[in-house]
């Protein structure tokens, strides 16, 4: 291990151009990850920000495997952000990147100390009616379909078979909608897999965007990810939630703000799709009001109708919004928890300064023990009533936030 550490430190000290060329061979990669994970695995930390618990490292494939194995053991989905998604990696200042994360967190923390009124919602009959349209049977059918692929790995020989099928399903789903919408596949530099986006254009404030997303890929922790990876819970469940939300709101009135749905590519390999998308949106100065991430929703390990609210790298304003939605429409039990940096795609948006929310199927240590294996299938522990709760949350998120002027109050 000492020899490996010296080699990695040497890599980090190379000139920018040589470093970039080395990375293109995919023998090592730069990442941001939870600082505690890097330390626990004795991975050299080349830069760090203690206030947010995030470190920068250059890792080998073996190290990546260890990070993913540890993430699985402690209940995480992803576990790191692959920085090869950055087009100009050689020019990046990682200390500034980490400082920026700290600044975003500090700004977010001001919410607790500022004299803002508590978020409250008035019950809407239209929204309540839409919430009641959520179908557990639809969720079961969509999860059954998505988990029928041998795997949805972003670097398989056919990484876009399910992506192309998803586009066709969306075309059928939206055929009867009278709303102005666009279905698109998004190419990425970091992976051959494509992300899927559906945009419903807002009527009066189309430049203000409410985002709902979840990753569409799956992985088996065996080397190369080529083994069976049905990913029924991780993340066919969240992907199905998004389909059900879209099915319902596509038949409602046009929202004032635009609503965008994402099924991200390559989350399991380091937030690949969402990282590129969020960076592009920030560079284009797109006004993303709020981001909801749905990643694993069908295994109620902490109890049926218990929501694990991830409080790190998420918005405190949206934590209050979640509680208001729950009090008004869901009536579940919310338990605050943390998952560390890079546990899912919300981290990509948070790093770009956007307000994010990550409601999880359970607390992290009570999540599905079969994720990232061939055993992640529909079984007697799969609970579609529990999963339906997250679709209901998404329906409110889309219909309420997209028809209001609410946003992070700073």
Measured CA to CA, the distance from residue 268 to residue 149 in angstroms comes to: 16
Q: What is the DSSP letter of 222?
A: S
- Residue 268 catalytic? yes
Say which residue the tokens 């254009």 belong to: 201
The token pair at 36 is 């505690």
Pair type for strands 47-49 and 287-293:
unpaired
| CA neighbor of 240 nearest in space, from 388, 110, 364 | 388
Pair type for strands 306-310 and 359-360:
antiparallel
82, 86, 260, 268: which one is catalytic?
Answer: 268
Biggest CA-to-CA distance, the chain:
65
Residue-wise burial string across 145-164, b where 16 or more C-beta atoms lie within 10 A, e elsewhere: bbbebbbbbbbbeebbebbe
- Residue 256 catalytic? no
82, 86, 208, 267: which one is catalytic?
Answer: 267
Measured CA to CA, the distance from residue 363 to residue 310 in angstroms comes to: 9
Query: End-to-end CA distance of the chain, in Å?
Result: 46
19, 162, 188, 372: which one is catalytic?
Answer: 372
- Residue 208 catalytic? no
Measured CA to CA, the distance from residue 103 to residue 109 in angstroms comes to: 10
Contact 346, 314 (CB under 8 A): yes
82, 217, 234, 400: which one is catalytic?
Answer: 234
Q: How many CB atoms lie within 10 A of CB 181?
A: 18
Q: What are phi and psi for residue 300, nearest 5 degrees?
A: -80, 65
The token pair at 119 is 């978020």
Contact 334, 322 (CB under 8 A): yes
DSSP characters over 269-289: GTSHHHHHHHHHHHHTT-EEE
The token pair at 137 is 């049977």
- Residue 234 catalytic? yes
Measured CA to CA, the distance from residue 3 to residue 6 in angstroms comes to: 5
- Residue 112 catalytic? no
- Residue 121 falls in which region: left (phi positive, over 0), alpha (psi -120 to 50) or beta: beta
| CA neighbor of 393 nearest in space, from 313, 317, 331, 316 | 331
- Residue 295 catalytic? yes
Contact 201, 258 (CB under 8 A): yes
| CA neighbor of 108 nearest in space, from 351, 394, 360 | 351
Which sequence positions are flagged as catalytic?
A: 215, 234, 267-268, 295, 372
């Amino acid at each position: 291990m000492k020899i490996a550490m010296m080699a990695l430190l040497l890599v980090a000290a190379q000139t920018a151009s040589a470093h970039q060329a080395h990375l293109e061979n995919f023998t090592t990669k730069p990442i941001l990850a939870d600082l505690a994970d890097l330390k626990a695995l004795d991975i050299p930390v080349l830069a760090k920000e203690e206030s947010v618990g995030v470190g920068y490292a250059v890792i080998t494939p073996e190290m990546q495997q260890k990070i993913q194995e540890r993430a699985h053991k402690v209940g995480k989905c992803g576990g790191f952000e692959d920085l090869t998604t950055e087009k100009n990696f050689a020019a990046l200042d990682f200390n500034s990147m980490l400082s920026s994360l700290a600044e975003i967190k500090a700004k977010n923390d001001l919410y607790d100390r500022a004299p803002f009124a508590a978020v409250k919602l008035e019950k809407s009959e239209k929204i309540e009616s839409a919430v009641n349209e959520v179908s557990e049977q639809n969720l079961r059918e969509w999860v059954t379909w998505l988990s029928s692929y041998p795997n949805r790995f972003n670097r398989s020989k056919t990484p876009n078979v399910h992506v192309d099928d998803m586009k066709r399903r969306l075309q059928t789903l939206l055929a009867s909608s009278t709303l102005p919408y666009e279905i698109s596949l998004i190419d990425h530099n970091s992976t051959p897999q494509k992300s899927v986006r559906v945009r419903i254009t807002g009527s009066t404030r189309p430049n203000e965007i409410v985002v709902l997303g979840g990753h569409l890929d799956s992985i088996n922790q065996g080397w190369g990810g080529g083994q069976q990876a049905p990913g029924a819970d991780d993340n066919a469940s969240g992907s199905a939630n998004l389909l059900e939300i879209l099915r319902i709101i596509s038949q409602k009135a046009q929202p004032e703000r635009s609503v965008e749905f994402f099924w991200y590519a390559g989350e399991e390999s380091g937030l690949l799709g969402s990282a590129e998308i969020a960076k592009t949106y920030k560079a284009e100065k797109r006004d993303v009001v709020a981001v909801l991430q749905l990643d694993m929703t069908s295994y109620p390990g902490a109890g049926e109708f218990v929501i694990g609210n991830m409080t790190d790298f998420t918005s405190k304003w949206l934590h209050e919004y979640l509680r208001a939605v729950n009090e008004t429409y869901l009536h579940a039990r919310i338990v605050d928890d943390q998952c560390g940096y890079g546990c899912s795609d919300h981290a990509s948006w948070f790093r770009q300064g956007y307000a994010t929310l990550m409601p999880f199927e359970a607390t992290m240590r009570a999540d599905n023990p079969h994720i990232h294996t061939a055993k992640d299938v529909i079984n007697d522990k799969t609970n579609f009533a529990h999963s339906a709760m997250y679709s209901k949350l998404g329906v409110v998120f889309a219909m309420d936030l997209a028809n209001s002027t609410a946003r992070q109050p700073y």
